[in-house]
Every structure is written in structure tokens, then in C-alpha cells.
Amino acid sequence: MSAIATNLQAVRERIAKAARTAGRDPAEITLLAVSKTKPLADILCAADAGQTAFGENYAQEGVDKMNVAPQGHFLRGAVDRALDWHFIGPLQSNKTRLVAEHYRWVHSIERLKIAERLSGQRPSHLSALQVCVQVNVSGEASKSGCAPDEALALCQAISRLPNLRLRGLMAIPEAVDDPKAQRLPFHQLRELSDSIQAAGVPLDTLSMGMSHDLEAAIAEGATIVRIGTAIFGERNTP
């Protein structure tokens, strides 16, 4: 078994244990392998170990990986796996067409203008782009995301756009070591999601939790955890 396959197994076990501790079904939680800056060989290795969902921070880098085979399929022997590509990085206006044409998910919408461009640029032959609104729950100046008090209006506006399906919220809180402190921003994001749903906007996704804090995120209701280092090791500088 490769190191990546071994790491994947360990992460899946962490997810399952955290889910059981929280009284949840592990099947409710999607593992998104964050493959930014990682070579295609690492992605193929993870795919051989059963991983299908991959997250990229750099639009062109991700598309280059997808284009190794048509429609993002990788043919490995007799097994043809369709990989599920998520864009999770900051998204500028000049990259929206690339993302709209190639990715199935976008986790990092923080402005209506970006959502409108994605909606207008999504090809008609593709299914609706699955999107999350990124919220800056920690209030860090260095972090992307809309302010929590702006999230409802943004979600309401995005939910009305064609070619997009609003799924939920995403956050990247400030990294801390204390488990109780880790849970606080995730709890805030879950409460924000609950309040947006109460206002009439249906949501089913909380994209939160990374290698160092996935247990805290799952305890607070994460449905997607974004894991890079624990699977692939420390990331390379692009």
C-alpha cells in the first residue's frame, strides 16, 4: 500500500470515529482531498485508493490536471473513475469562465458579482454548478469570505441565479490547537446556516474542517471536510 493510500485510510478512520463520537453517520461526511500543488501522480494514487473528490485552489492548475483525460476521467486498467473537481480557492473575475466551464463545485463565493459571472458562463450542456458561500467567521483581515451579517442577503441573491445551485456555507477559521476553541467558529457557521435556512433559503452543506481540526468540524455538523496535508503531506510551493 502506498503512503497516500495509507494516509487516506487513516483520515477515513478519523472521520468515522469523529462522526460516531458526535452521534452521526460517517456516510453523511464527504472527504475532499485537497490536491493543490500536488502532482498528477499523487492524485492518481489517491484515486486508485478510492478517492474521487479533489479540491483545487488554482483554477488553471486544476484544469490542467483534468485535461489529462476527457471529461476529467482517468482510465486505470479496467477501472474508469469519474473524478469530482471542487474549486476551493479565492476566485477573481478573470478566472470565472475557466471555473464555470470545468469544475462541478465552487466553495469560495464571497461576492454576488462572482456568482453572477459563474451563472452566466456555465455552459448549457452542464448541470448546475454546485456552490457555497464563504464566510469569514474569524474576522481575520487576511482571510477571504463575506461578513456573517452579509451572508443571508448574498445567499438569497445567489439562490435566484440560473445555472447555480446554492448548497451551503464554507469557512476557514483561524488555526488554533485547543479543541474547544476549534469548535467555536464551526458552531458559529452552523448557527448561521440554521438562521439562513429559517429565513427560507434551503442549505444542506457545511464545508469546514481541515487536517488539524476535522474532529471539531464534524462535531459541529460538517458535511464536507477539506483535507490536504494529512493525505498528501506538506504542500509544495507553486
Domains for the chain: give ranges and CATH numbers. Answer: 3-232 (3.20.20.10)
DSSP-derived 3-state class of residue 142: coil
User: What does the pLDDT look like over 81-103, one tens digit per residue?
Assistant: 578 999 999 999 999 999 999 99
Contact call for residues 36 and 57 (beta carbons, < 8 A): yes
Radius of gyration for the alpha carbons in the chain, expressed in angstroms and rounded: 17
- Residues 125-157 pLDDT 10s: 999 999 999 999 988 777 899 999 999 999 999
Could you give the percent of the chain with pLDDT greater than 90?
Answer: 84
pTM for this entry: 0.93
Contact of 156 with 120, CB cutoff 8 Å: no
